[in-house]
Amino acid sequence: MNQKPKVGVGVILCKENKVLLLKRKNAHGEGSWAPPGGHLEFNEELEDCVRREVEEETGLKVKNIKFIGITNDMFIEEGKHYLTVFMVCDYGSGEAEIKEPEKCTGMDWFDWSNLPENLFLPLQNFIEQRHKFSYEKQD
């Protein structure tokens, strides 16, 4: 068996001190809250992936896109392994709407300090990694 990790992109989309999360459906992590995002396509720039995925999933335009981290995410039960590249950006324009109802059952803006309970594994790993790094930096 010659399986290799796939590359996912998670988008921390900010608007008025809140982040947009979508409730996953019909995919690994079903029922969990995740940032917009998806697979990085062959020969695609990260910034282009961010723009494409956010618009496909929410109808929104974004601006000020920046890299903020990477996580190593192993979905043991599903037999999946991803490296997730996290990018942060600001809301640009548009009204958020569920554009892919077959993949998403809900969408909402959350305070970063008050996220919902059931977070998608890559987002959990990203938060834990940032917390650990912040804690280690203070020592």
SS in 3 state form for 89-124?
EEEEECCCCCCCCCCEEEEEEEECCCCCCCECHHHH
Q: What is the pTM of this model?
A: 0.91
Give the pLDDT of residue 133: 60
Give the pLDDT of residue 138: 44
Give the pLDDT of residue 139: 44
Tokens 């599903």 sit on residue: 78
For domain 6-138, the CATH architecture is Alpha-Beta Complex (3.90)
Question: Domain extents for the chain?
Answer: 6-138
Position 137 confidence tier, pLDDT thresholds 50, 70, 90: very low
Give the pLDDT of residue 135: 46
Residue 1's Cα: distance from chain center in Å? 29
Position 130 confidence tier, pLDDT thresholds 50, 70, 90: confident
Mean pLDDT on 38-64: 98
b (16+ CB within 10 A) / e for 65-103: beeebbbebeeeeeebebebbbbbbebbeeebebeeeeb
In whole angstroms, how large is the CA radius of gyration of the chain?
15
Q: What is the pLDDT of residues 80-89, one digit of tens each?
A: 999 999 999 9
Q: What is the pLDDT of residues 106-115, one digit of tens each?
A: 999 999 999 9
